[in-house]
Structure 1
Amino acid sequence: MTRTETIPTERRSWSVDWPEYAPTDITPPELLASALAHEVPDWAEAAPTPADVPDWPQRMGAALVPFQLDARGWPLHPQGRTGRAGRNLGRWGESAAADPIVVAGTGRARQLLLITRDDIEEEAISGGMLDPGETALDALARELREETGLDLAGHRPVILGKGVVDDWRNTDNAWVASVSALYWLPVPVTAVAGDDAADANWWPFGSLGELDAAITAAGRTLYAAHRPLLQLALDHLNQG
């Protein structure tokens, strides 16, 4: 599912001059200007280009990961060139997301809750985009409830970090950044897949290697973009 255009490390930074740079446009048909003029998907903003977005100062001030605008006033991916252009997300610039990581048990009995995403059919952390005006904590609890049936609104998670997610939809001018948080439960509880999840299961979580082995043995695949977030969770858990 992931599109990858290799950008040489020495040319990734926006400060490096690269006149020949020609990223691949991955804008889907429903987000092209001609389509937006007739109908705007309920998950997307109507702006056909970043020049049509009126609130860049507010977006920059609220961003999980700071970013800059180029000479045209277009947002630039915080980590540099991606090799991809256009927009395959709801918003130009940063799309803020919440990724709740739910772990149960300790030691050899420690387990991790993952969903099977119905869009890419891979095992992943439940999570998704923040709704307008929604806080990260509210989004974490909502996504868990919608995708796994777990109501952990009364739990106070450990915020692990904020960062850009290596999402296949990221482009030079539209990307996903996420708040990742760790919920710990004494024992696994029943989870029921819902919303964007095709399945929900608990997996052994002593290490990423153990998790990989279990998922592979079941004939499934771990969503690669979530590996760094899971390692953050393991690092935190192993400090105790």
Structure 2
Amino acid sequence: MKTPNNPVSRRTFLTTSVAVGAAALAAPAIAQQIDPYTGQPIIGAAGGATPDAGRVQYDNSQDSRRNISSFHAQDWQPYFSNLTNGAILVDLNSRALHFWSEDQTVYKLFPTSVPVSPDLTRTGRTEIIKKVLGPTWAPTPEMKKRNPEWPDFVPAGDPLNPMGTHALWLSWQYYRIHGTHDTRKIGRKSSNGCIGMYNEHIKQMYDLTKVGTQVLVL
């Protein structure tokens, strides 16, 4: 894998990304078992599968272990005064997303990816302002400044699209809860600020949530 001081060329980036992204889409169970953070080789790959998952997006000195073993159910009451429109709690420490429905009949707990560094992390209260099936993707101005070789736009359904199959827009500019075609990201510090989920999990959240669903990130 290339380092930030020796960036991957656009041609290498696109060639590698398509190959890895297609493999992840074709066999997600296998993709989840390939862990670049353990030191095991990635067969046939030399980088992240999407623009949001490249070498520049994580720091090896940080704790990038999966946290699934630390998952535990939460009660909504310490975090929300009510469940109007439902509620989402994103726990950055355990890299988990909790959802409670407004009528309290549904509770979900899912693993997530989280921002790679404190300067990309935003915490506090927000809400879902838009739901998108088949989101497109474009790098933010800051992303493009750091990575000028990245494409200006990636259409929905493209293996290079770091938004996956569904996206929930938050009231904070550029922040989303979204899927990912690169399943290696989940459970790790690996994003530019968004909260990533497996595509099958974000589909559930897309179906369960509504515009106005409360969100707390802490």
Indicate whether the TM-score tops 0.5.
no
**Normalising by structure 1, what TM-score?**
0.27
Structure with bigger RCO (C-alpha 8 Å, 6+ apart): 2
Max Rg structure: 1
